[in-house]
Amino acid sequence: MRSGEPRKRSQSVRFRPRRGDRLTLDTRASDADRQRVVELLQSHTAVGRLTLDEFTDRVGVVYNADTLADLARVTSDLPALPEKPGAVRRDLLAMFGIAAVTLLLLALYMAVTR
């Protein structure tokens, strides 16, 4: 892309900055951003969506990316990966833990107020 050319925004963006970051796609990409995209590409290669040649080509683009928009274009044709099962289990454990503590406190309150 030439420096005088306006940057086009991708409509289908799979790479997104971390939650809480107030960044636009014109924000310069960090090494951590590039690493996250490489890991995402590795996952897609592992499930067969990318060949090793495609993976190699895209990793080259990632390491030459200047902005988050450049990174987003590398993954725009790939579907979102399903959440890891461990993340769901942790959420369920947290929910059950909160419910157990609430029931314990309710039982304690009922025992004290009798």
pTM listed for this prediction: 0.56
Residues 6+ apart with CB under 8 A from 27: 17, 67, 68
For residues 5 and 51, state if they share a domain: yes
For residues 34 and 7, state if they share a domain: yes
Reported as a pLDDT band with limits 50, 70 and 90, residue 100 is confident
* CA dihedral of residues 46, 49, 54, 60 (deg, nearest 10): -60
For residues 33 and 72, state if they share a domain: yes
For residues 28 and 50, state if they share a domain: yes
For residues 54 and 107, state if they share a domain: no
For residues 49 and 89, state if they share a domain: no
**Residue range(s) defining the domain that contains residue 48:** 1-81
Q: Would you say residue 76 has pLDDT above 90?
A: yes
Residues 6+ apart with CB under 8 A from 106: none
Q: Is 28 helix (H, G, I), strand (E, B) or coil?
A: strand
pLDDT in tens, 31-55: 999 999 999 999 999 999 999 999 9
For residues 89 and 112, state if they share a domain: yes
